[in-house]
Structure 1
Amino acid sequence: MFTKHLSKPYYLDQLESASRRIAMTHHKHSEIEHWRTKLLSNYYGEKKILPVLTHLSSKESRILFDLRLPLPDHSYCQIDVLIVTRNFALILEVNHSPLPNLTKDYRFMHVNDRIESRMPDPLSQAELQAHQLTYWLTMAGFQSIPIHYFVVLTSPASFIHPSYGSNSQVIHLDQLLTAFQSLDRLYNSSPLEEFELNRLCDLLVIEHTPYQPFILDRFHLHKTDILQGVICPECSNLPMKRVHGRWYCKSCHHTSRNAHVEALKDYQFLFGERITNQRACAFLKLDSSTAALQILNEVACEKSGLNKTLYYVFNE
């Protein structure tokens, strides 16, 4: 049973908007692009693991994607995939890095360009998550649950470096089902009753705290660093111009009725869910506040305030 489904991380949406709206010559663009690529790779790896997990989904197992549980020291236990059964809990640290030699000494060596870069060892990350989850479960009154973990390599080009030896906790995606079944056979008794399993999974969902930073602060950006205007969906040029109810691109001559929708999504991910008519007019580079008002009335799900304090809240 999928208790917490896989969904695109809000932070990834934020990074994608920032990547589109920060000039490539900006000194922060490469850093933003690094994190966007990293998070997108992880999300793609989780999507690849999804079909395999459907074979594990049953009344006896609960699957939760992308958990972020608060800890008393103000840190967080972040888990790609958590499988909870009545017998044990299993952490899956998903890795979809392109062409890595996965080594135990905290390195990924990219074979194609011969560039070696230091990154956290996924096995050490999974081990840390197991310790954090054990502590969290104890605090929640579930101290009797055994916790296991696997690092799951989802890229076909990945291979396990000899430095891991015969460590069975680092596996390829096609080994996951067999590994789970072998683990399940180890247990003859269940520390949890079904109602306790339900209560635990409900608590995990309630305690989940998604990462949704104010991205300008996260990367020390200013509002003036953000490129304004509607981006052309055909050639990515900006800004498009509003002409007789349509958006027109001077570069490729493409026209669109609703190109402003993606622009306003960018605004939401970068600045928040509230926008005023004045800010919409400036961000969309509209000559008419009446046109901005018409657009906001189409896309907003609610509005509040009066006159100059009137703001709109975006639809989901």
Structure 2
Amino acid sequence: MRHVIALDVGGTGMKAALMDRHGVPLHQARRPTGRDRGPQSVVASVLDFAAELRAYGIREFGEPAAAAGVAVPGVVDDAAGVAVYSANLGWRDVPLRAALAERLSGAPVALGHDLRCGGLAEGRLGAGRGRDRFLFVALGTGIAAAIGLGGRIEAGANGGAGEIGHIVVRPDGLPCPCGQRGCLETLASAAAVTRLWAAACGDPAATAADCAQAVERGDPAAVAVWTAAVDALADGLVTGLTLLDPGTVIVGGGLAEAGETLLTPLREAVAARLTFQREPEIVPAALGDAAGCLGAGLLAWDRLDAVHDDLTVDDDVEVSG
């Protein structure tokens, strides 16, 4: 059975699948990254895991994976196949695509940013399916977005497209690690809501999920924290809507697990800020934490198709003397 390897490399663990042409996982597995042993150990863990998946495919399906796709965090040069920088993994300029291709006996390999891979999967298999233009926004430790255009995800000239979390929405706000003040992710990420709610309720162990539950109970302090986060998020989204004009905004990440407790006031806040802009449909993500892995598999199939097209073009070239 023809299949590809899909790998999603996170800060502490890796999710993987052998995936068929239709995006269906035929086999799934998880492994720790081993980041406590250093950056090179993480690379070795990725390579070993990929080789293990290749061996499983040979054993169970009678053939090796036709290609592989890998999603990684941080700054990624998709075209060169290099993991440029990842604070979580300690990586700098890791030529991961070449290393994986060598370990997988020359199979085509695609490397992509984890958030963009998640957006690709949501666009083709999840909440964005059938929608030509969408914005996938992930509300986690930080905030980032994937820009979906005509079945692909826009990476930008330097791989930085979609950094909506660093739109300044409160110029006099808190410092952000990026060097600016008042960035969206300092106010509306899951980490920001956790910090603000812990301070408001006096419990250092309180989380954003606890805040959402308190909002549902009508706790005034929780409502104040939540409303401030939603207002900041709406301000950031309206900037994105004005620039990109997506028909759909897909909201995912940890904070989105609050469901309509987040989405209902967010829709209202966005609508109240629009003037000439067309109001988008704001919907929850459909694939959860599987999105990055599924997107890596889709990248692998795209890479395989591109290699096939290149070979076809070469075969069609006529040489005259």
The structure where helix makes up a greater share of residues is 2
Q: What's the TM-score once normalised by structure 1's chain length?
A: 0.25
Q: What's the TM-score once normalised by structure 2's chain length?
A: 0.25
- Larger of the two Rg values belongs to structure: 1
Task: Work out which structure has the larger RCO, using CA pairs closer than 8 Å and 6 or more positions apart in sequence.
Answer: 2
